[in-house]
Chains A and B, each alone.
Chain A
Amino acid sequence: MKEQTTRAMWWRSPSFILDNRQQQPNDTARRDALSIPLSSPLPPSTTMADPNPNPNPNPNPLTDKISAYYQTRAAHHGVVSSDWLAQAQAAVGHLPEGDDDASNNDQGAPSGKPFSVIDEFNNWRKQPDLAEAVAAIRALAAVIRNSQATTMMELEIELKKASDSLKSWDTTSISLTAGCDLFMRYVTRTSALEYEDFNSAKTRLIERAEKFGEISYKARKIIAMLSQDFIFDGCTILVHGFSRVVLEVLKTAAQSKKLFRVFCTEGRPDRTGLRLSNELAKLDVPVKLLIDSAVAYSMDEVDMVFVGADGVVESGGIINMMGTYQIALVAHSMNKPVYVAAESYKFARLYPLDQKDMGPALRPIEFGVPIPSKVEVETSARDYTPPQYLTLLFTDLGVLTPSVVSDELIQLYL
């Protein structure tokens, strides 16, 4: 523990180099949200316990907590990497229902009940078209359906437990947290209001939760419709990351016979750009692939930047795939508008003050060549883009400027 705090104090100064050499080998202790963002550093030779030449040159990925959220996304993107695949299988489990303990990850999840909200959630999550938050809400709806509670208070308590377990299962996913919070908020508000009859209240909750799933599809359509006006003939759009919402926007524009071309960033290491360019090529939209470093070079040809969001935070900024902040900075300096397409259930009650303020979400990066074990790799999967670099947010609540987001959140939560 003392080592941890020393690290916390020194990580910004060069003395961390010395410090690292004295570190204890494996940091298996649970990190808190504000602690070290770097992956656990390693002393030169001692921990390479396996003499087997590891096919993965990335040292010690197994002790890092790989973000399950990004695993799913990577799965959806069709990126296969040898070691995380094994991890994913271990963490997620093969059986949809049945033994809950076996299917939970090393974290040791709760609920010894036959019904496990985590399983239910994983089921829903596997569908590539379904958003995380909606999967969470559907899982919570299943909790209500299977609950034995007879009063609203009991139900609420059960839901809270389920929601907490979902949230702790993957602390890095913002839309999951936001979805759970939104649903919990709804439950606590509803119970106070109208229904004296518990069963009808319960039915109502279930039916609202089911409807919420439809909202996911509708939300994307609404966002696509709203953004049509902003795409004009002959424009060049720069896209980063593989967002299903942005894809819907571009699809709708292509189908309404608008003429435009798209620059896709490669999106290392998830190769999101490749996948997106595949999809766009199917729509006959002219696509140009850029490596991530070529963004500033091509920015003067670009008319607007379109990105999705993993989460929209209280300040109006967004949390999105690594590289978004960079692109927003470049676009801002060259006066290009940055548009964000995000559904409203991604609004989260977070207020990051800098890049490291969020819980770390890590994912392994393969360089294709062996790296010396002394070399650290920045494996964070996401960054925070402050609101002053964003022009407009397209959400299913309408077109919003970043300052509207905090207003919306206040209305809901306070």
Chain B
Amino acid sequence: MPDVQALVNEFLNKLKKRKIEGSQATAKQTAELLRSVISQQRVPRTNQAGALIDAVRAIGEQLIVANPIELAVGNIVRRVLHIIREEDLSLTTAAVAELNLSTVSDDDDDGGGGDQDDRPVLSAAAVAAAARNTLRPPSLQMLLEGAPDFVAVPRSSSSGGDSEGKSKSMDRNSRTRKLKHDIIEAVNELIQDITTCHELIAEQAVEHIHQNEVILTLGSSKTVLEFLCAAKEKKRSFRVFVAEGAPRYQGHLLAKELVARGLQTTLITDSAVFAMISRVNMVIVGSHAVMANGGVIAPVGMNMVALAAQKHAVPFVVLAGSHKLCPLYPHNPEVLLNELRSPSELLDFGEFSDCLDFGSGDGSPLLHVVNPTFDYVPPKAVSLFITDTGGHNPSYMYRLIADYYSADDLVVQRRHAAGN
């Protein structure tokens, strides 16, 4: 696997040096890297899924540690782990279904059950249902059912029957290949979803933007740009206020793009948001990440816009592709999920060299510059989330997360104890 290791190292480097900008690009590259890892991973005869999961976890751990602020990395790692589990499950249930049919017929021939297995005969439906429960997050019904026992059963019963030994090993070989194949297909679909998330979100634009509306946005987000342009193409006429998004001033770029597409745009400073908010019909913004409680990690300044919108009862709509959904709950996100960037974005070193000088006085400068990258917007400030699956309430986000992720993967750390 040396070439995969080289790829991983290169990617780790890029993450550490913050060379990749934007969660979409990061997510795509992470998925592609994991796809290479999976295809090159050699898997043993039994428990192929476990081996793959361990390999992905090992690499995922390193990736997440390289850039913990970029939540998309962790999201994609967990998505891939979930995919592996799902594909394994569907293959196993298909195999068990065949197997159970044959075992049942054996039992009839022998004229009495209970000699080969102490376990009672389970119907394939029951096994499938029980095993599916392992993938879903823990729920009340699982409390009493104790799902892990069931997943063990198909494996032991499959190794039990010796009469069909030969055909079984053939099955297992093809199953290995099929598993990997299925997983890689699913990962390809995931990459496809990441790339096309803008289109799916933009399709919903026309339901939300109506004639003669005034939309406010902050900074620049490709999703927002596509969203607005889609509405424009459906012949809605509306105006956009763009807050410039200091200190990077990416709002300037967005304004330029919008004008190029023919939209009436007004550029304002961030400080003017409160003044202009009463003239605005809707606030539409992009996000960096969406947490499990519905809170949003967004470029700095967004919390202020959210508060302004709340105060003046303006709907605050957040656009987020599914790779931005993070299954973690934020505790102290302003500090732990934030990064401080270089003060040079705010101040010119040349002019301020005496204030920022470490050599003067007692070795520490009197002027400190704090330049945080992100802001945390609490869920109650958000009116609607628009993802590629549709529009949702903040309190509904946990549901999407349950669909995309498995509960076992929340902590991506290599487990030295047995089991997944």
| Residue positions of A touching B, CB distance < 8 A | 182-183, 185-186, 189, 193-197, 200, 208, 211-212, 215, 229-230, 232, 344-345, 347, 392, 396-404, 407-409, 411-412
Point out the residues of chain A lying under 8 angstroms from B144, CB to CB.
182-183, 186, 208, 212
Distance in angstroms between the alpha carbons of A398 and B293 in the assembled complex:
12
- B293 lies within 8 A of A396 (CB): no
- A194 lies within 8 A of B331 (CB): no
- A411 lies within 8 A of B141 (CB): yes
Contacts A194-B120, A208-B146; A401 near B140 (Cβ below 8 A): no
Contact with A along B198-236 (1 / 0, CB 8 A): 000000000000000000000000000000000000000
Point out the residues of chain A lying under 8 angstroms from B121, CB to CB.
196
Point out the residues of chain B lying under 8 angstroms from A182, CB to CB.
140, 143-144
- A396 lies within 8 A of B138 (CB): yes
Smallest distance from the beta carbon of A406 to chain B beta carbons, Å? 10
Point out the residues of chain A lying under 8 angstroms from B398, CB to CB.
400-401, 403-404
Smallest distance from the beta carbon of B409 to chain A beta carbons, Å? 13
The contact of B140 among A211, A229, A344, A402, by CB within 8 Å, is A344
Contacts A189-B141, A408-B139; A196 near B329 (Cβ below 8 A): no
Point out the residues of chain A lying under 8 angstroms from B137, CB to CB.
397-398
Distance in angstroms between the alpha carbons of A196 and B120 in the assembled complex:
8
Smallest distance from the beta carbon of A304 to chain B beta carbons, Å? 10
B105 within 8 A of A: no
Point out the residues of chain B lying under 8 angstroms from A407, CB to CB.
399
- B140 lies within 8 A of A230 (CB): no
Smallest distance from the beta carbon of A233 to chain B beta carbons, Å? 11
Smallest distance from the beta carbon of B152 to chain A beta carbons, Å? 15
Distance in angstroms between the alpha carbons of A411 and B126 in the assembled complex:
17
**Total A-B pairs, Cβ < 8 A:** 73
Point out the residues of chain A lying under 8 angstroms from B399, CB to CB.
407
Apart from A397-B140, A407-B399, 17 more pairs, CB < 8 Å: A183-B144, A186-B144, A193-B129, A194-B123, A194-B126, A196-B121, A200-B120, A208-B144, A211-B146, A229-B331, A232-B331, A344-B140, A397-B138, A399-B293, A401-B379, A403-B398, A404-B398
- B122 lies within 8 A of A412 (CB): no
B395 within 8 A of A: yes
Interface residues of B in 121-153 (CB under 8 A from A): 121-123, 126, 129, 137-141, 143-146
Write the chain A residue with the least CB distance to B125.
Answer: A193
Contacts A194-B122, A398-B138; A344 near B294 (Cβ below 8 A): no
- B120 lies within 8 A of A411 (CB): no
Distance in angstroms between the alpha carbons of A401 and B331 in the assembled complex:
14
Distance in angstroms between the alpha carbons of A399 and B121 in the assembled complex:
37
Point out the residues of chain A lying under 8 angstroms from B331, CB to CB.
229-230, 232
Point out the residues of chain B lying under 8 angstroms from A403, CB to CB.
395-396, 398
Interface centre among B141, B332, B399 (most CB of A within 10 A): B141
Distance in angstroms between the alpha carbons of A412 and B143 in the assembled complex:
11
Smallest distance from the beta carbon of B397 to chain A beta carbons, Å? 9
Contacts A193-B126, A401-B294; A412 near B120 (Cβ below 8 A): no
Interface residues of B in 367-420 (CB under 8 A from A): 379, 395-396, 398-399, 407
Write the chain B residue with the least CB distance to A335.
Answer: B378
- B407 lies within 8 A of A398 (CB): yes
Point out the residues of chain A lying under 8 angstroms from B138, CB to CB.
396-398
B298 within 8 A of A: no
Write the chain A residue with the least CB distance to B144.
Answer: A186
The contact of A215 among B129, B143, B407, by CB within 8 Å, is B143
Distance in angstroms between the alpha carbons of A186 and B145 in the assembled complex:
8
Write the chain B residue with the least CB distance to A396.
Answer: B138
B319 within 8 A of A: no
Point out the residues of chain B lying under 8 angstroms from A193, CB to CB.
123, 126, 129
B292 within 8 A of A: yes
28 contacting pairs across A/B (C-beta < 8 A) = A183-B144, A185-B141, A186-B141, A189-B141, A193-B126, A193-B129, A196-B120, A197-B120, A200-B120, A208-B144, A230-B331, A232-B331, A344-B143, A345-B140, A397-B137, A397-B138, A398-B137, A398-B407, A399-B293, A400-B398, A401-B293, A401-B379, A402-B395, A403-B396, A404-B395, A408-B139, A411-B139, A412-B140
Smallest distance from the beta carbon of A182 to chain B beta carbons, Å? 7
The contact of A411 among B140, B294, B407, by CB within 8 Å, is B140
Point out the residues of chain A lying under 8 angstroms from B407, CB to CB.
398
Distance in angstroms between the alpha carbons of A267 and B379 in the assembled complex:
32
Write the chain B residue with the least CB distance to A347.
Answer: B140
Point out the residues of chain A lying under 8 angstroms from B379, CB to CB.
401
Contacts A193-B126, A195-B120; A392 near B140 (Cβ below 8 A): no
Distance in angstroms between the alpha carbons of A347 and B140 in the assembled complex:
9
Distance in angstroms between the alpha carbons of A183 and B396 in the assembled complex:
28
- B293 lies within 8 A of A392 (CB): yes
Interface residues of B in 71-105 (CB under 8 A from A): none
Point out the residues of chain B lying under 8 angstroms from A229, CB to CB.
331
- A232 lies within 8 A of B332 (CB): yes
Write the chain A residue with the least CB distance to B327.
Answer: A398
- A401 lies within 8 A of B126 (CB): no
- B120 lies within 8 A of A345 (CB): no
Smallest distance from the beta carbon of A193 to chain B beta carbons, Å? 5
Write the chain B residue with the least CB distance to A178.
Answer: B140
- A412 lies within 8 A of B329 (CB): no
Distance in angstroms between the alpha carbons of A195 and B293 in the assembled complex:
40
Distance in angstroms between the alpha carbons of A278 and B396 in the assembled complex:
41
Smallest distance from the beta carbon of B417 to chain A beta carbons, Å? 16
Point out the residues of chain B lying under 8 angstroms from A411, CB to CB.
139-141
Interface centre among A186, A194, A392 (most CB of B within 10 A): A194
Point out the residues of chain A lying under 8 angstroms from B329, CB to CB.
392, 399
Distance in angstroms between the alpha carbons of A402 and B396 in the assembled complex:
11
Interface centre among A189, A195, A404 (most CB of B within 10 A): A404
Distance in angstroms between the alpha carbons of A397 and B141 in the assembled complex:
11
Point out the residues of chain A lying under 8 angstroms from B396, CB to CB.
403
- B395 lies within 8 A of A409 (CB): no
Distance in angstroms between the alpha carbons of A305 and B43 in the assembled complex:
49
Interface centre among A345, A396, A407 (most CB of B within 10 A): A407
Point out the residues of chain A lying under 8 angstroms from B293, CB to CB.
392, 399, 401
Point out the residues of chain B lying under 8 angstroms from A344, CB to CB.
140, 143
Write the chain B residue with the least CB distance to A208.
Answer: B144
Write the chain B residue with the least CB distance to A137.
Answer: B144
Distance in angstroms between the alpha carbons of A208 and B147 in the assembled complex:
11
Point out the residues of chain A lying under 8 angstroms from B140, CB to CB.
182, 344-345, 347, 397, 408-409, 411-412
Point out the residues of chain B lying under 8 angstroms from A208, CB to CB.
144-146
Interface centre among A193, A200, A229, A401 (most CB of B within 10 A): A401
Distance in angstroms between the alpha carbons of A186 and B141 in the assembled complex:
7
Distance in angstroms between the alpha carbons of A195 and B292 in the assembled complex:
39
- A397 lies within 8 A of B139 (CB): yes
Distance in angstroms between the alpha carbons of A11 and B363 in the assembled complex:
74
